[in-house]
Amino acid sequence: MRCRVCRKPAVIDVRRHNAGFCPDCFFDHCRHQVERAIADHAMIATGERVLVAVSGGKDSLALWDLLLELGHRADGLYIGLGIEGYSEPSGEYARSFAARRGVHLVEVDLPSDYGFDVRSGAAASRRAPCSACGLSKRHIFDRATLEGGYDVVATGHNLDDEAAVLLGNVLRWDLAYLARQRPVLPGGEGFPRKVKPLVRLGERETAAYCVLRGIDYQVEECPMAVGNKHLGYKDALNAIEERSPGTKATFYVGFLERASELVAHVGEHEREGLHPCPGCGAPTTAPSCAFCRLVARAGDQRRQRIPLDQPVSAS
């Protein structure tokens, strides 16, 4: 197979585009897809400061690298989730990328900064681990972005992620979630703009990008996510894509172009009752926000496990 652009030997084929690429033309292709997503959806304006949420995996490290290559002012944010055997090496990949590129990595650690990890937070709030984890990450993304004076926070959600989430939302006809499934969510009082510049790249492309650019990344999936519904939706879409390349992109891009506007108003009335959480300032309709309630419950559970007549700080 030859590169579609320059006819040198190709190292990757992108069946969706019915094209093979050599390394240099593949990098151009990835940069072009990200540039196009940013321009089409007005994600990032020239000169804005971007905080890239990096998990240590292929997508977010590829995103950070691509934004830097495109000349954006981008720092990273790594959140330590306290997942045994997984979080520490993930953080190391993020740190070594930052050191190699000479860029700044902001770090927040759930256990040491908030007193709980994903497992204990999930148990205390009676949520599934991925739900407690997602809630914590979203809160910390917002807070770190606002406190650091960044204009926008970017995550590494790719085409496969977004198509799988879309399939889940459609299977349940969850119109409120469909209304919020856009690659740009504008900021407001107490929360920043959020963008997903990788929505035009699949995960095979982000993995190939990292390998060809020499970026080391966490290959393992999160042990808590094994068997969750989202991965099942991805498998289903991969089976369809195998038979009809391009279906995934048509499904997702078609939604953005033809259906997204139709549901955009759903859930608007819920935003009317929002007020700032007294604990953290994030917008909520409840007396305090879901994250502050999670922190409080995890704290209650910790105290119950420590008998009050024993010194806490021994050893």
Map residues 71-110 to x or -, x wherever contact with ligand AMP holds by CB under 6 A.
------xxx-x-----------------------------
**Residue with Cβ nearer ligand FES (67 or 110):** 110
Per CB under 6 A, 206 contacts ligand AMP? no
What 3-state DSSP class applies to 77? Answer: strand
Per CB under 5 A, 274 contacts Zn ion? no
Structural contact between residues 215 and 61, judged by C-beta atoms closer than 8 angstroms: yes
Contacting ligand AMP (CB under 6 A), which of 10, 14, 43, 54?
A: 54
CA distance 17 to 101: 31
Long-range Cβ contact pairs of 280-284 (< 8 A, separation 24 or more):
280/139, 280/143, 281/190, 282/139, 282/142, 282/143, 282/190, 282/191, 283/188, 283/189, 283/190, 283/191
Per CB under 6 A, 133 contacts ligand FES? yes
How far CA 12 is from CA of 77, 86, 211, in Å, comes to 30, 29, 11
Residue 118 binds which one of Zn ion, ligand FES, ligand AMP, none, with CB within 5 to 8 A depending on kind?
ligand FES
Per CB under 6 A, 38 contacts ligand AMP? no
**Residue with Cβ nearer ligand AMP (10 or 163):** 163
Rg (CA), the chain: 21
Per CB under 6 A, 218 contacts ligand AMP? no
Per CB under 6 A, 224 contacts ligand FES? yes
Q: Which residues contact 144 (CB under 8 A, 6 or more apart)?
A: 51, 77, 106, 108, 150, 153
Structural contact between residues 73 and 48, judged by C-beta atoms closer than 8 angstroms: yes
Indicate the DSSP class of residue 188.
B
Per CB under 6 A, 110 contacts ligand FES? no
Per CB under 6 A, 156 contacts ligand AMP? yes
Contacting ligand FES (CB under 6 A), which of 225, 231, 264, 286?
A: 225
Contact positions toward ligand FES, by CB under 6 A?
81, 118, 129-130, 133, 222, 224-225
Contact positions toward Zn ion, by CB under 5 A?
277, 279-280, 282, 289, 292
